[in-house]
Amino acid sequence: MGISLPDSPIIHIHDLHKTYVVSEREAGIRAALQSLVHRRTERIKAVDGISFDLSGGEIVGFLGPNGAGKTTTLKMLSGLLHPTAGEVTVLGHVPWKREKPFLRKITLVMGQRNQLIWDIPVIDSFELNRAVYRIQASDYRRTLDELTQLLELGPLLRKPVRNLSLGERMKCEIAAALLHLPQVVFLDEPTIGLDVIMQRRIRGFIAEYNRRSGATVLLTSHYMADVEALCRRVVVIHLGRLLFDGDLSALVERFTAHKTIVVQLGDCRDDLSSYGEVVSCEEGYVTLRVPKAETARVTERLLADLPVIDLTVEDPPIEEVIERVFAQEAV
């Protein structure tokens, strides 16, 4: 529909803050009685001045440990939470006003909560959403067919939600949330608790939806496989602050001081500790950790000194990188 200009951001966040005021008290009866008279409150900065923009059609991974402020940010973006300070606009709307034209263009999927009605067949919940979002009958049919095919929902539609497995339910949740073809999709841990195959299928679907509809997707996940498969760009937050915003590869580059060299030698007799830190040696494959700057030199020496059958240089797994990012900042 081209409401937003091509180069204006779809999502705009500037210096966003959210502070919760929570009451706290020590354990015990005395403290309980004291709190009746004087309630001590504490201010918790869940989001503490973050800024980033998303352009149309991007899929961005929104990463951070538990309590980093990811869900709080997603709730401010979708309009469930009122920011304490700062600017947010999504598709030109101020989310917390929750204007109907805005709500018709976005969706929020929370992996830990469900919106489908428990006792009735999935298709009935879909029909309800059709009425809620005022989807034209012909558009509804087309979208439903497409989603049914992509997510393989065929045999699930007539079953009551309570009879579905977790993975089946999640597929249906996602379909229900996309029937109105939102331009902006917020996904909060969409693959949580799912097995690897189902995770992969949902991942594939998100990529396909993004490709077909051009929707902008902001996704949180604790599974780095999701992030690697879907997101070129990641935004990392921790303790409510922005740690990193850029390409996933740049994140790896910036936060890894080491590379992993795997050498195939045929046996484990040689001691390679003079080349680097030996991580493991199994069935003739030796894994070495070396400082990034020395990778080329070590590789050269290994090839020159030893009867190497095969040699590969790898970045450390993304989980490890992320762990390091959080660990550095948490101190």
Rounded distance, CA 324 to CA 326, Å? 5
Q: Between helices 248-255 and 318-330, what is the axis angle to 10°? A: 60
- As a residue count, the chain comes to 331
- Sketch the per residue contact string, 194 through 223, with another protein: x for CB under 8 A, - otherwise: ------------------------------
Judged by CB under 8 A, the residue of 11, 63, 77, 108 near another protein is: 108
Per-residue binding string, another protein, 20-59, x by CB under 8 A, is x---------------------------------------
As measured in angstroms, the least distance from the Cβ of 96 to another protein is 6
CA–CA separation, 12 and 8 (whole Å) = 9
- Residue number with CB closer to another protein (129 or 260): 129
Q: How far is the CB of 180 from another protein (least distance, A)?
A: 9
Residue 139: enclosing H or E segment and its boundaries? helix 137-151
106 binds another protein (CB under 8 A): yes
| Structure tokens, 266 | 């045929």
Among all chains, which residue has been given the structure tokens 């309009």?
79
Among residues 130, 169, 201, 203, the one that binds another protein under rule CB under 8 A: 130
Class of residue 96 by CB neighbours under 10 A (exposed 0-12, middle 13-18, buried 19+): middle
Give me the least distance between CB of 216 and another protein, in Å please. 17
DSSP state letter for 78: H
Site for another protein in 146-185 (CB under 8 A): 160
**Least distance (Å) between residue 54 CB and another protein:** 19
Residue from 12, 17, 44, 117 that binds another protein (CB under 8 A)? Answer: 117
Half-sphere exposure in the Cβ direction for 4 (13 Å, CA): 22
Q: Is 82 a binder of another protein (CB under 8 A)?
A: yes
Single out the segment in contact with another protein by CB under 8 A; choices: 85-93, 97-105, 284-292, 297-305: 97-105
Considering the rule CB under 8 A, would residue 113 count as an interface residue with another protein? yes
Q: Binding residues for another protein, how many (CB under 8 A)?
A: 35
Helix (H) and strand (E) counts in the chain: 11, 13
DSSP per-residue codes, 153-211: -GGGTTSBGGGS-HHHHHHHHHHHHHTT--SEEEEESTTTT--HHHHHHHHHHHHHHHH
Cβ closest to another protein, residue 127 vs residue 329: 127
- Contacts with another protein by CB under 8 A lie at 20, 72, 75, 78-82, 96, 98, 100-101, 103-104, 106-108, 110, 113, 115, 117-121, 124-125, 127-128, 130-134, 160
